[in-house]
């Protein structure tokens, strides 16, 4: 054979509803077995059995080390080279494997093979990420989240490299390095890390009014999701679907979590970052390991040139969205994440996403941000992974055959045979090698293009504020209050007053009340409005799809209860509560005074998953206090127990309790209200937990 690369791993899934083949690198898989070494014996990289993994060879018992200790050299050499450059953005990520199932054939609008057959299952790999922080930063930074999906389709890999926010900060890729430099650590001092609450970021965005719409999203609770499982994903750009007749339509991609939308509050985010910096990463891992597989529906907004021409904004402008009320999102398939990674580095770190990885039937639009991205992602993979052969890494390797005349390069792992590495050639049979195919190959839409070379932004991109206003009026009162608080917090960290003033001037173009409330929070006079490129519109209707709270969950499924238990807790009441939570599809973490657990009323020992001094209420979706009066009095003496109750209360969580827990509530300085539900009826309590927050309590909201 000239150059055909067989699917390396795993073999291509059959186009049926069968379950996917076992991944060879998963535990127990063929390659995993190989990696374990000969009969579980330790070997060098060359496969030689190792006699000692403890001591250097030395001359004499206490003498100098011998240069000849090749086993030591092999080990240290590899260790010294373990690190690769982290991603310049989206460095901190969490990956998982899964499957995508197509609902129905979309042949009328796209010839993409993945959408050709109802019920088709396609293997996927997903990587969620924060954007600004380094690899070792914390999960609950206020930040955008990356939502990148690699579909291993039968006609090649398709990467949908999106975010949890449907718009972007900038309109043109030319500005991307500036944006990233502004939000990352200041180059002189190397901080602040993983946050946008600093002068450089707000200096830049206040000078770039096109960022304003995205800023509203980032300052909303979208910037602090409860976990990856509870957030939407968006392809952001307008792409195109092209059918077999060559007809093209615009398409925007949406991921909708079947778990519902959910975020934490800002004080909780601060608390979680200290208590569990891996909160999101752990949540994804734990839920998949527990068999509670997160699911998202992929939906599309499909529209033609006629709609694009009639729409209020340019569909090529990535700072704009198309309201779902105007073009409904059509669900076209479901993704289920059903397998954790076997190795964080091998898979999550080495996975290479690229917007230019499209397949036949999907095409780019002329969005200048997308066009620039298509150039950038390939570059970055070479920098990170060190070889043009990164596509041969298992996580990047297509599951369909690969056949071309690419040759050599660092770390080539394919074994190419035959003498022809060029075409045309006149060899035959296996020596001939692959050929292009007019019928099967990807062809771009045959689009007419005209006009002089141009180096300026199109006028159709000039409106920077109208959709920001639309986003603002689409939020509930609670969500608006959180946006005000976020702007106030972030701008309060800007040391240079002019930056705050400039930003307030921009916010006046979004909404006068918003700007005034932020100015009040900062204790500043409201400056004049900045001059917009075009007058913002205030007549766009509110869109419910833009609010998290209007799209929350309906029950406690997939959520976690933090259940405080003490000495002599009623064993029957405990069982009833745990059964009710599990019956509702939720999880329970039992918190006891010490991690050794507590002795229940029936004399049995209840182990603790956490002890009260080692956890925080912010880590749970609801909390419950199931304790005797004596235990409540003892807990009331512990500052950590009081903090636990106070944190749950002020963040509007539902608190399940029995009246005996009152001394703990009193000592915590909180007044039980209707959000405190009696555990006597466990099922009713769990039903209340499913509402997630008792917002009526919001003690941080300004008095009306
Ligand atoms: Fe990007 C990574 C999403 C604009 C250049 N980007 C990266 C990742 C996501 C996004 C999710 C992480 C992928 C992974 O998990 O490995 N990026 C976006 C979205 C954008 C966007 C939704 C706007 C709509 N990005 C953007 C621009 C450029 C880049 C305009 C450059 C011109 N992005 C990169 C990059 C990264 C990257 C430098 C860093 C690591 C990587 O690619 O693999 O090339």
So what's the pLDDT on residue 28?
52
Q: Which residues of the chain have pLDDT under 70?
A: 1-39, 699-704
So what's the pLDDT on residue 469?
98
Report CA torsion sign: 70, 76, 79, 80.
Answer: negative
Among 3.40.50.880, 3.40.50.2300, 2.40.30.20, 1.10.10.10, what is the CATH number of 553-697?
A: 3.40.50.880
Atom 37 in ligand 1: which residue has the minimum CA distance? 89
Is 97 tagged catalytic?
no
In the chain, which segments carry CATH 1.20.1370.20?
465-549
In which region does residue 190 sit, left (phi positive, over 0), alpha (psi from -120 to 50) or beta (all else)? Answer: left
| CA max distance for the chain | 91
In the chain, which segments carry CATH 2.40.180.10?
93-403
Query: What is the rounded radius of gyration, in angstroms, for the C-alpha atoms of the chain?
Result: 28
Query: What beta strand segments (E) does 343-498 contain?
Result: 362-363, 402-403
Q: Which residues contact 235 (CB under 8 A, 6 or more apart)?
A: 160, 162, 252, 253, 254
Q: Which of 113, 107, 93 is nearest to 161 (CA)?
A: 93
Q: Is the CB of 321 under 6 A from ligand 1?
A: no
Q: Ligand 1 atom closest to Cα of 318?
A: 24
So what's the pLDDT on residue 337?
98
Q: Is the CB of 87 under 6 A from ligand 1?
A: yes
Measured at the alpha carbon of residue 464, what is the angle toward residues 463 and 467, in degrees to the nearest 5? 95
Q: Is the CB of 369 under 6 A from ligand 1?
A: yes
The answer to whether the beta carbons of residues 614 and 648 sit under 8 Å apart is: no
pTM for the full predicted model: 0.94
CA–centroid distance for 589 within its chain: 24
What sections of 104-166 are H helices per DSSP? none
So what's the pLDDT on residue 16?
44
CA–centroid distance for 686 within its chain: 28
Q: Ligand 1 atom closest to Cα of 128?
A: 15
**Span from the CA of 529 to the centroid of ligand 1 (angstroms):** 33
Ligand 1 pocket, mutate which of 369, 373, 390 (most atoms under 8 A from CB): 373
Catalytic residue (choose from 157, 163, 651, 658):
163
CATH class of 465-549: mainly alpha
Catalytic residue (choose from 90, 213, 254, 464):
90
Q: Is the CB of 562 under 6 A from ligand 1?
A: no
Known binding-site residues for heme equal: 87, 127, 176, 373, 377, 384
User: How far, in Å, CA of 576 to CA of 679, rounded?
Assistant: 9
DSSP letter at 477 equals H
Torsion angles phi and psi, residue 352, rounded to 5 = -120, 105
Q: Is the CB of 173 under 6 A from ligand 1?
A: yes
**Span from the CA of 320 to the centroid of ligand 1 (angstroms):** 18
Q: Ligand 1 atom closest to Cα of 127?
A: 15
In the chain, which segments carry CATH 3.40.50.880?
553-697
Query: What beta strand segments (E) does 389-537 contain?
Result: 402-403
CATH number of 93-403: 2.40.180.10
**Span from the CA of 177 to the centroid of ligand 1 (angstroms):** 11
Atom 18 in ligand 1: which residue has the minimum CA distance? 162
Atom 4 in ligand 1: which residue has the minimum CA distance? 373
Q: Other C-beta atoms within 10 Å of 328: how many?
A: 13
Is 90 tagged catalytic?
yes
Buried b / exposed e across 112-140, counting CB within 10 Å, b at 16+?
bbbbbeeebbbbbbbbbbbbbbeeebbbb
Atom 28 in ligand 1: which residue has the minimum CA distance? 373
């Amino acid at each position: 054979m000239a150059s055909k690369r067989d699917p390396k791993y795993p073999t291509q899934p059959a186009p049926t509803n069968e379950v996917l083949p076992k991944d060879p690198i998963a535990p127990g898989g063929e390659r995993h077995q190989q990696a374990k070494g000969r009969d579980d014996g330790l070997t060098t990289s060359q496969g030689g059995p190792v006699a000692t993994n403890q001591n250097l060879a030395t001359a004499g018992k206490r003498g100098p080390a011998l240069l000849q200790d090749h086993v030591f050299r092999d080990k240290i050499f590899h260790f010294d080279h373990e690190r690769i450059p982290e991603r310049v953005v989206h460095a901190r990520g969490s990956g998982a494997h899964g499957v995508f199932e197509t609902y129905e054939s979309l042949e009328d609008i796209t010839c993409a093979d993945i959408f050709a057959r109802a019920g088709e299952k396609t293997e996927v790999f997903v990587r969620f990420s924060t954007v600004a922080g380094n690899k070792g930063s914390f999960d609950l930074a206020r930040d955008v989240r990356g939502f990148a999906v690699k579909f291993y389709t039968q006609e090649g890999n398709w990467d949908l490299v999106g975010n949890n926010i449907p718009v972007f900060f900038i309109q043109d890729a030319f500005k991307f390095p500036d944006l990233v430099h502004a939000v990352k650590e200041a180059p002189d001092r190397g901080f602040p890390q993983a946050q946008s609450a600093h002068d450089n970021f707000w200096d830049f965005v206040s000078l770039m009014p096109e960022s304003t719409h995205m800023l509203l999203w980032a300052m909303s609770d979208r910037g602090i999701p409860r976990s990856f499982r509870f957030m939407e994903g968006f392809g952001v750009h307008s792409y195109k679907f092209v059918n077999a007749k060559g007809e093209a339509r615009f398409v925007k991609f949406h991921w909708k979590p079947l778990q519902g939308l959910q975020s934490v509050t800002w004080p909780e985010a601060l608390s979680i970052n200290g208590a569990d910096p891996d909160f999101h990463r752990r949540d994804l891992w734990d839920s998949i390991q527990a068999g509670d597989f997160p699911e998202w529906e992929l939906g599309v907004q499909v529209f033609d040139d006629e709609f694009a021409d009639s729409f209020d904004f340019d569909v090529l402008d990535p700072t704009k969205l198309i309201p779902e009320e105007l073009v409904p999102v059509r669900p076209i398939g479901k993704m289920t994440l059903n397998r954790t990674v076997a190795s964080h580095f091998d898979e999550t770190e080495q996975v290479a996403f690229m917007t230019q990885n499209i397949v036949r039937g999907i095409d780019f639009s002329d969005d200048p941000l997308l066009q620039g991205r298509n150039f950038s992602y390939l570059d970055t993979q070479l920098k990170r992974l060190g070889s043009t052969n990164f596509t041969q890494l298992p996580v990047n390797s297509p599951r369909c055959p690969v056949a071309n005349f690419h040759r050599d390069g660092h770390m080539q792992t394919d074994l190419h045979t035959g003498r022809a590495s060029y075409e045309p050639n006149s060899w035959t049979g296996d020596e001939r090698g692959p050929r292009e195919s007019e019928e099967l190959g990807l062809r771009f839409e045959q689009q007419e293009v005209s006009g002089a070379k141009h180096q300026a932004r199109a006028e159709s991109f000039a409106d920077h504020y109208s959709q920001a206003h639309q986003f603002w009026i689409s939020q509930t009162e609670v969500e608006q209050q959180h946006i005000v608080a976020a702007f106030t917090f972030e701008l309060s960290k800007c040391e240079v007053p002019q930056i705050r003033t400039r930003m307030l001037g921009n916010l006046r173009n979004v909404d006068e009340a918003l700007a005034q409330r932020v100015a009040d929070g900062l204790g500043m006079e409201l400056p004049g409005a900045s001059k917009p490129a075009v007058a913002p519109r205030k007549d766009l209707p509110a869109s419910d799809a833009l609010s998290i709270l209007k799209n929350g969950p309906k029950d406690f499924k997939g959520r976690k209860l933090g259940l405080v238990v003490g000495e002599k807790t009623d064993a029957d009441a405990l069982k009833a509560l745990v059964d009710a939570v599990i019956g509702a599809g939720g999880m329970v973490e039992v918190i006891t005074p010490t991690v050794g657990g507590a002795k229940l009323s029936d004399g049995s020992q209840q182990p603790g998953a956490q002890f009260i001094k080692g956890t925080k209420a912010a880590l749970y979706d609801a909390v419950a206090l199931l304790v005797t009066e004596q235990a409540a009095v003892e807990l009331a003496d512990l500052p950590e127990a009081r903090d636990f109750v106070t944190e749950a209360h002020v963040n509007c969580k539902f608190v399940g309790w029995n009246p005996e827990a009152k001394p703990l509530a009193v000592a915590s300085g909180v007044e039980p209200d209707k959000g405190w539900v009696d555990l006597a009826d466990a099922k009713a309590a769990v039903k209340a937990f499913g509402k997630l927050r008792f917002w009526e309590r919001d003690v941080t909201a300004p008095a009306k």
